[in-house]
Amino acid sequence: MKSRLNYTLHFCLLVSALMLASCGKKENKVSSNGVSGSSPFTMDNPALSGSVGSTIINQVSSIKSNVACLNGGYRLTNDVSFYVNGGYKSGTTIGGNWVGGFLSSGTISKMWVGVSAYRDLMFVTQVANGSTVVGFNVTISFCEMKSSYGLPSIISNERALDTFQAPYGIIVDSNTYCGYSVVDLAQNTSIISRRASSNPYSPPDAQIPTSFTKPTCNGQF
């Protein structure tokens, strides 16, 4: 489900060394607002006030705790979030020009959850003012993505993530077999992992394609 080898390479001598293996590393610059160790899913977020918001916060925490990264990789300290105003392309497909940050000018009324083959997690939230949908957020909790040949990881806590794209939209499903709604398919989304300037061995900027689909739970899917 996940092809992770579409690079923007600044140093040609590293090309042959950057053959990636499985789920890799991520360190401290990835967040919805540039703050280390942050997540939008907290009671401090005004968009998550009330019983629905409290339920979503608990669900996100539980999902992260129960979905382990593969091959000894770790889940990044920070989530990374993007939002779109409006956002419906069709009845069940969300899309548009995603901007870094988390839209909180309203109340989060729905959440859909997706997972990648490498256990990255996608949380899509709908923001509404009353019955009017204002827009959508995509929050991604990435797993470390290791590189080969002893180089630092391509996704890690020391590298910033930005420029999210979902060229085929995000198809959502309102069934709640898992206790929450799910992402049917977000095919070949991409995000850019930035070189860590503080680490002279950090690989160059890399565009990371990732596909997400519905999780398996309660004997469904």
pLDDT per residue as tens digits for the range 80-118: 999 999 887 678 999 999 999 999 999 998 999 999 999
**Full residue range of the structural domain in which residue 173 is found:** 6-213
Nearest in space to 89 (alpha carbons), one of 190, 183, 168: 168
Is 0.85 surpassed by the pTM of this model? no
Per-residue confidence (pLDDT) for residue 92, from 0 to 100? 92
Per-residue confidence (pLDDT) for residue 188, from 0 to 100? 97
Mean pLDDT value across the chain: 82
d(CA 140, CA 208): 13
Q: Is residue 176 in a domain?
A: yes
d(CA 5, CA 137): 26
Q: Is residue 32 in a domain?
A: yes
d(CA 220, CA 179): 12
Which residue has better confidence, 219 or 94?
A: 94
Q: Is residue 219 in a domain?
A: no
- Written as one letter, the residue type at 20 is L
d(CA 172, CA 184): 5
d(CA 90, CA 106): 22
Q: What is the mean predicted confidence (pLDDT) over 2-9?
A: 40
pLDDT in tens, 174-218: 888 888 999 999 999 999 999 999 898 888 999 999 999 998 886
Per-residue confidence (pLDDT) for residue 60, from 0 to 100? 95
Q: Is residue 220 in a domain?
A: no
Whether 149 contacts 201, CB under 8 Å: no
Both tokens of 67, joined, read 């979905």
d(CA 160, CA 29): 5
Q: Is residue 218 in a domain?
A: no
Q: Is residue 128 in a domain?
A: yes
3-state helix, strand, coil in the chain (%, to 5): 10, 35, 50
State phi, psi for 120 to the nearest 5 degrees: -65, 150
Per-residue confidence (pLDDT) for residue 4, from 0 to 100? 52
Nearest in space to 40 (alpha carbons), one of 76, 81, 75: 81
Per-residue confidence (pLDDT) for residue 25, from 0 to 100? 30
Which residue has better confidence, 8 or 120?
A: 120
pLDDT at 1 over 80: no
pLDDT at 51 over 70: yes
Q: Is residue 91 in a domain?
A: yes
Q: What is the mean predicted confidence (pLDDT) over 51-79?
A: 92
Q: What is the mean predicted confidence (pLDDT) over 158-184?
A: 93
Backbone CA torsion sign across 23, 29, 34, 36: positive
Which of 14-18, 92-96, 126-130, 190-194 is predicted with the least confidence, judged by mean pLDDT?
A: 14-18
Residue 46 three-state SS? helix
Q: Is residue 29 in a domain?
A: yes
- Number of structural domains (the chain) is 1
Neighbours of 16 (CB within 10 A): 9
Nearest in space to 78 (alpha carbons), one of 95, 97, 68, 64: 64
Element (H, E) at 188: strand 181-193
Q: What is the mean predicted confidence (pLDDT) over 31-60?
A: 79
